[in-house]
Each structure stands twice: as C-alpha cells, then as structure tokens.
Amino acid sequence: MARLVAPALAAVAWGLLGAPGCGRGPSAPVAARDGVAIALYYHPGVRYAVIDDRRWVDVAGDSVVFDHIDPGGGLSSLVIEPLAGALEIGACLRERIAPDAASGLAVPALRCAVRGRPGRYLVRLLYMSWALAYRVEHDIAMTAPDRATVVSRFAIVAPAWRTRAEVAVFDGVAGGESPPRELARGTIALDGGTALLATPPREVTARLRRIYDGAVRKPDGPDTRDPRWARDSHSAVWVWLELGVPGLAPGPVHVHVDLPGEAIRDIDVPAAGRRGGAAELRLPLWIDDRLRGKRDRWTDAPDDAVLSDRFLVSVANTGDAPREVWIEEQLRAGARRTVGRAWPRSPEVDRRRLRMKLTVAPGGIERAGFAVDYER
C-alpha cells in the first residue's frame, strides 16, 4: 500500500482541492481558511480516503493535541504544515484523550511537538485512511424501449467530528492504470451517521435483449484450450438489460422495467452479476419461461495444435408473441480462429464471442448452426 501514498496525496491536493492558479494566470492571494475535505477512492481490492483537514490550533507550550484524527489513518502518510503564522511542527505520537462527554468514547488524537510564539495558528493535516469508504447502489428505471434513467447513491459512514466536510468519491485509485474518475461530490455532516450523496438523474441508451448462451461454465472447470471446456449445456433464455454506460461504479443495481409487451418487474442485480464490455454494461434480469433453448456441441481435437467445435442450437417459443433471441457462444482462447459453415446467416464475431440473431414465431422453433476452428 505504501506506493499509493504519494500519488494519492498529490491527487487530492491537485484534484479535490483544485490546482491553485492552474491555467488562469496571476491571481490575487486567497486567504487560507479552515475546513475538512475528503476524497474517497475505490478499485477492486483497494479502497482508501485522503483527508485534508484545515483547523485552528492554540499554542501555549511545546506541544499541541489534534483530536478527531481518523483511527484508520496511517501516520506514515501524515503531512502537517502551518498555513498561517511561524510555527514549526515536530514529531507526533498517537494518544487517546479523555472520553467525549456526548458519546462516552475516548477520542483518537495526536500529540505533536511544536515551536512557536504562543497564539492561534491555522494548520493543515493531510493523511490517508484505510477505514473510511463508500458504498454505492444504482437505481435504473426503463419505461421506453431505447433508453433508461440512472440515479446513483453513495453511502458514507461518517466519523463523529461534529463538523461538515466537502466530499468527492472516485472510481479508481491514484497511480493505477487509468486515472481516478470522479463520480459525485457534495457536502456532508460528520456526525457519526450515514451520509448520502446522489447523482442527478441521467438518461442513457438502453435496450432489453433476450440471449441464449447455452454453455455451462464453472470457475474451477477446465481451461478454454481443453476440449472438455463448456461442453455441458442448459436451456434457460435470459433477458438482459444493455446500457450505454460502461463507467457505472461497481455496486448492486435495482432495475424497474415497465414496457409494452412486458410484465412490470423490479429486479435486484448484485454487483457480481454485472457484465461489461468496452462500450456497454449488461445486467441479467430474468429467465423468459416461454422460451427454451437447446445447444449441442461436437468437438474434434486430433492433436495439440488444432481443435474444432461444431454447434447446433435451437430456440422454441411457447408464448403468444414473436421474440427476437440472440444466440451467443463464448470463444476459446487460440492463436487463430476461423468461423464457418454458419446458417441461416453469418454471425457477428468479436474477440470474445460469437452472436447470431433469430426471430422465433409464437409456437415456433428456430435453429442455427456454425463451426469454429482453432489453432492452439
């Protein structure tokens, strides 16, 4: 985690608080002021906060006590600097001052050595905390066939510091492969409760798509180069919601669907259920019990250099309305792949999957076939 400290502190200094004078030319000096700003970062496996706390302290001797220091903060990341007045700050140690009268809990604090004239000084404390974090949930409402409305809510368990803070939440971490992306910002009360930030409702492109991906894949199953990979099949045809919003922060999603020709539904999709590509986010909603798929696969692997998969796929519609169904098949890893012998039409193929659209009449069955040859 140590490698995150320097870029994280730099990010908050230049991002959350702004880069003074950047691109604006000379400007009049701005008086330093007190206040708390918190930047919250998340990436799978890593989450932390950068706290920028500017406060007035009274100096009467050779040390001062800073209370309301987050107990999850690391002293190795702590930077303390005076913003107004000639004050030198030396070594700091953690201690716990007398119990707070309101809560009855001892307050995490720092005692720091100081050198300066007696008086009042404005001091900045900048540090990282591994305890402060945010949780996110999304609400999606789809009432038109080509668009949906998205609202994201971020929950933060605030420390009981009896003040307010400017807060920004980010997807990503400083020093990562991509720069952190700001998701929301606002002012919250640091009162020990759970604070909420919400994004304004935004409209995104969306569509429901019925997909038959009949393969059974297990996390502990064979490698994709193994002929046995994904050989078993199931019959469920899922209804997926595809959204033109690939950057939705990781978290659970509640989806409300109210469309002509569909039953009104409310579905909760866990964070682990999401699928995403370079251009869209996909959410599995429900199984269409009036559609039933069948997938047969034959695999030939005469040696370690080549492998061929042949497929026959069918979808039956027991409902009273025609349904557009997409056949999908995830592709194996391979140095080279060739798709051929496809009917009734050529499929769409990208580096991860093969797709073919069928329209299944009420009471009808549609079939498709194709083959994929791999050089391993």
pLDDT tens digits, 217-239 = 988 888 888 999 999 999 999 99
Share of the chain above pLDDT 90, in %: 68
- Mean pLDDT, the chain, as a whole number? 87
DSSP 188: E
φ and ψ at 251, to 5 degrees? 165, 165
pLDDT, position 164? 96
Long-range contacts: 229-234, Cβ < 8 Å, 24+? Answer: 229/332, 230/297, 230/330, 231/297, 231/299, 233/294, 233/295, 233/296, 233/297, 234/293
Checking if the pLDDT of 61 tops 90, the result is yes
Q: How far is CA 321 from CA 176, 272, 304, 324, 340, in A?
A: 49, 32, 47, 10, 32
> Which candidate, 236, 278, 240, 271, places its Cα nearest to that of 254?
271
Q: How far is CA 95 from CA 98, 107, 108, 110, 112, in A?
A: 10, 9, 7, 6, 10
Whether 39 contacts 53, CB under 8 Å: no
User: DSSP readout, 325-375?
Assistant: EEEEEEPPP-SEEEEEEEESSPPEE-SSEEEEEEEE-TT-EEEEEEEEEEE
Q: Comparing 266 with 27, which gets the higher pLDDT?
A: 266
pLDDT, position 2? 44
Return the bridge partners of 337, or none: 374
The three-class DSSP label of residue 370 is strand
- Give the span between the Cα atoms of 159 and 334, in whole angstroms: 52
Q: Which two tokens stand for residue 171?
A: 């997807």
Pairing between strand 160-171 and 88-97?
A: unpaired
Region 150-163: what's the mean pLDDT?
94
- Give the span between the Cα atoms of 178 and 172, in whole angstroms: 7
What pLDDT, in 10s, does the model give residues 76-94? 888 999 998 889 999 988 8
Under the banding of pLDDT at 50, 70 and 90, the label for residue 324 is very high
pLDDT, position 218? 87
What pLDDT, in 10s, does the model give residues 29-47? 445 689 999 999 998 888 9
Whether 349 contacts 342, CB under 8 Å: no
Q: Comparing 21 with 297, which gets the higher pLDDT?
A: 297
pLDDT, position 245? 81
Region 175-200: what's the mean pLDDT?
92
pLDDT, position 227? 92
Q: Which two tokens stand for residue 203?
A: 């409209």
pLDDT, position 287? 98
Q: Comparing 218 with 3, which gets the higher pLDDT?
A: 218
Q: Which two tokens stand for residue 375?
A: 């050089």
Checking if the pLDDT of 312 tops 60, the result is yes
The owner of tokens 């604090």 is 109
> Which candidate, 166, 181, 160, places its Cα nearest to that of 51?
166
Q: How many CA atoms are closer than 13 Å to the CA of 323, on its beta-carbon side?
A: 30
pLDDT, position 225? 87
Whether 128 contacts 77, CB under 8 Å: yes
- Give the span between the Cα atoms of 269 and 255, in whole angstroms: 8
Region 260-265: what's the mean pLDDT?
94
pLDDT, position 109? 84
Domain ranges (residues) in the chain = 1-20+31-200, 204-375
User: H or E stretch including 6?
Assistant: helix 2-11
